[in-house]
Structure 1
Amino acid sequence: MNQSLELRSFYEDYYNDEVARKRVIAAKQTVDHISALCGGASLGNLLDVGAGDGAVLAEIEKRGMASELHAVEISNSGIERIRQRKLNTLQSVQEFDGYKLPFADNSFDTALAVHVLEHVEHERLFLRELSRVARRCYIEVPLEHTFRVQRAIQTSAPYGHLNFYTPETFKNLLSTVELSLLSIAVFPNSLDYEVFLSGPFVGKAKYLIRSFALKLFPRLSPELFVYICGALCERK
């Protein structure tokens, strides 16, 4: 079973200089989230599934968080960008079809799927394949199912978003593929990311509003604003 041709076509030439800076900023906040949930423990032998242009891998190598890196990606432009980084601990970069990973069972200590699941047509098949090759998984998704979900559907559809999550639906999805939650957290976007998207004044305001709302009303705020949810799981 392959990813839709539409999605593969969209991302074929997506990774270029124009999006590179945004992805570097996004990668820093993602690796901050991973570090927070892992408690600083090593990720060991790591596979990044849907690795994009390799920005997350580069940040992980920079921080010395993994002993060995591997990547799979559906986009040739992404694969080429990963190879151009010439990461010292990167052992392999391969194209894959979106579902079948070209590795034996239990090949990795950790598998990442960072902002991938919202694009996946058959989420449970994808998650089972992820947990087949790694004993531990880190999965990160945007929480776009707010009271303005219709707007989220319209604005993110061009980027291939098919699935829209709340913290509860995301937890339920993980539990139905027999993944045990080791830790899970809801995060606001970083200040740097908000400023990049909206400028210094509006970006800082968005960051402060969302951060304080999450701190004061942790259950209510994801119904009002878009956040990010990261989950560290292991196979049951």
Structure 2
Amino acid sequence: MAHAGSIIDIYDDYYADGKVAAKRDIASNQSVGHIEAVIQGQFFDRILDIGAGEGAVLDKLNRKGLGKKLGAVEISKSGVEAIKARKIAKLDSIDVFDGYHIPHPDKSFDLGLAIHVVEHVEHERMFLREAARVCKKLYIEVPLEHTRDLSKAIRMSGPYGHINFYTTQTFENLLKTSGLKVERLKVFAHDLAYEQHLAGEKKGWVKHRLRTEFLRFAPKTAMRSMAYMAGALCSSR
């Protein structure tokens, strides 16, 4: 990851004191909702969360009954410890990895998740090919931060390790040139709860309505002007 040493430095103790817990919990509800919207009722027995953070998404998957067995790989030692502390009932395996080598056999999982991971990765295609080796299908989600005001996105996201900035077109091209077939791709605005967590109740409500309605009525202009998210369900070609 971007490069691996620098990301480890940023995130190794990131989850240790619990300060990001509230934001991660709200974001995980949002992400699981996106997964459900994109997979459209498909069921996957074995699910691997690649870059699992502190396990908030895994916890929601467990509670919702999505998947019979869950696995996690994570670059951050503090993240791995936080996942273990959750005692997730369906969690079958958890491993530290270096961002490019996943310690599981070929096609050993039915679905792999890479949620807000690829924007951090120095060698994106290497990462995605390795994920596709291990998983029959992938759900990949990234922020769409390559807007007219790209300089602001770089300034705001750089401290969190974002080195790749996407439009829907560049995201889809990345997936296809990584040997993946894009089965379904959707664009999402932030949920109301997430906007309000970041901006406060009133301002967050306004930002949510603005972002949501802009995307609905003028999607191309909206995505050139404001940041959104894209989630894609992919299979290997």
Rounded to whole Å, the distance in 2 between the matches of 1:25 and 1:43 is: 24
Rounded to whole Å, the distance in 2 between the matches of 1:88 and 1:167 is: 36
| Gap runs ≥5 in structure 1 | none
Moved over 4 A (4+): none
Partner of 1:120: 121
Rounded to whole Å, the distance in 1 between the matches of 2:18 and 2:56 is: 12
Rounded to whole Å, the distance in 2 between the matches of 1:143 and 1:88 is: 34
Rounded to whole Å, the distance in 1 between the matches of 2:2 and 2:73 is: 14
- Residues 13-32 of structure 1: matches in 2 within 5 Å? 13-15=13-15, 16-32=17-33
| Corresponding letter in the other structure for 1:189 | H
Per the normalisation by structure 2, the TM-score is: 0.98
Rounded to whole Å, the distance in 1 between the matches of 2:89 and 2:228 is: 33
Rounded to whole Å, the distance in 2 between the matches of 1:3 and 1:77 is: 19
Output one character per residue of 1:180-202: Cα deviation in whole Å (capped at 9) or x when no partner.
Answer: 11111000000000000000011
Partner of 1:7: 7
Rounded to whole Å, the distance in 2 between the matches of 1:147 and 1:127 is: 27
Q: CA deviation at 1:3?
A: 4.5
Provide the identity percentage.
47
Rounded to whole Å, the distance in 2 between the matches of 1:52 and 1:159 is: 13
In the comparison of the two structures, how many residue pairs are matched?
A: 236
| Corresponding letter in the other structure for 1:110 | L
Output one character per residue of 1:107-138: Cα deviation in whole Å (capped at 9) or x when no partner.
Answer: 10000000000000000000000100011000
| Corresponding letter in the other structure for 1:10 | I
Worse-superposed segment, 120-129 or 175-184: 175-184
Rounded to whole Å, the distance in 1 between the matches of 2:139 and 2:105 is: 19
Q: CA deviation at 1:43?
A: 2.5
Partner of 1:111: 112
| Corresponding letter in the other structure for 1:14 | Y
What is the alpha-carbon root mean square deviation over aligned residues?
1.1
The reply on whether 1:227 has 2:190 as its aligned counterpart is no
